[in-house]
Amino acid sequence: VSDVGITCASFDPTGTLLLAGTADGALHLYSANDYLSVLHPGEKSGVQQMLERELKVVKNLEHRAREQRIKENKASNQGSSTQEISCEFAAYESHAIVRDSHSEMMEIIDGMDW
């Protein structure tokens, strides 16, 4: 484990080894025991439900942040229309990244040999 963020990760075909690369160039090899590398009943649906909940949390947080920015802009009446547009675009762009990441994760889960 490192203080530096993980930038890439890959499992071996058996699913027992995980190689993770960090932003500082270090590689970490993790070995999973048999219990963690074998599918158990209900795991796929459990993971999908967890990802759906996380996506809802992210959407709610983005919505709250956007509402707060709008309230602050209205209260101050000093924000120009270009600032409001850029804030809305940033929120949309952030939401699109989360949505695309969620879609990619669901494709990976659906494509796994459960």
Contact 20, 28 (CB under 8 A): yes
Q: Tens-of-pLDDT digits for all 114 residues of the chain?
A: 568 888 899 988 887 889 999 888 889 999 988 777 777 888 888 888 999 999 999 989 999 998 988 888 887 765 555 555 555 555 555 666 666 776 777 777 777 665
Contact 64, 89 (CB under 8 A): no
DSSP state of 42: T
Give the residue carrying structure tokens 């000093």. 78
Please name every residue paired with 8 in a beta bridge, in sequence order, or none if there are none.
21
Mention every residue, 6+ apart, whose C-beta is less than 8 A from residue 62. 91, 94, 95, 98
Q: What's the confidence (pLDDT) of residue 83?
A: 53
DSSP state of 22: E
